Amino acid sequence: MASLTKAQKIEFARQIVKLLKKEKDRLMEKGVDVTAIIERLELEIADYDNKQATQTEAKAAAKEATKEANASLKVAYKDASSSEELFAGAFGKDSELVKVINNIRDAMANEAARGKKDTTA
């Protein structure tokens, strides 16, 4: 049996409900009452639809939060870089303090100098 996508699985459930409703009378003639099955499947489908909508909203919220976080990061980095220029203007580009600041950025950009990655997280 082939693996179905989520969309195919929920559509399968919907099609079964339609078929059970269509054939309910004929099933009743055979002594099979599918009323409870139909009700249960309809509740499960509605539950899936609600949870899927919640998931979609959460994805949209996560994307928006990422945009906002990135915008905040851009501002913080720009301000930190401006502070570097402040030190350079006050103490001169060749001062030890400005060299320390430049080394901070250079060290961060150098992946080999970062050390081992923490794999416990």
pLDDT, one tens digit per residue, over 25-51 is: 999 999 999 999 999 999 999 999 999
Q: Is the per-residue pLDDT at 113 higher than 90? A: no
Residue 57 has pLDDT above 80, yes or no: yes
The arithmetic mean of pLDDT across residues 112-116, rounded, is 65
Domain residue ranges in the chain: 6-111
Q: 48, 10 in Cβ contact below 8 A? A: yes
Task: Assign 25 to helix, strand or coil.
Answer: helix
**pLDDT value at 116 more than 70:** no
- Phi and psi at 21, nearest 5°, equal -65, -40
Position 87 confidence tier, pLDDT thresholds 50, 70, 90? confident
Inter-residue contact 38 to 24 (CB < 8 Å): yes
Residue 80 contacts residue 69 (beta carbons within 8 Å): no
Cα(115)–Cα(30) distance, rounded to whole angstroms? 73
Q: By 3-state DSSP, what share of the chain in percent is helix, strand and coil, each rounded to 5?
A: 80, 0, 20
pTM listed for this prediction: 0.64
Under the banding of pLDDT at 50, 70 and 90, the label for residue 119 is: low
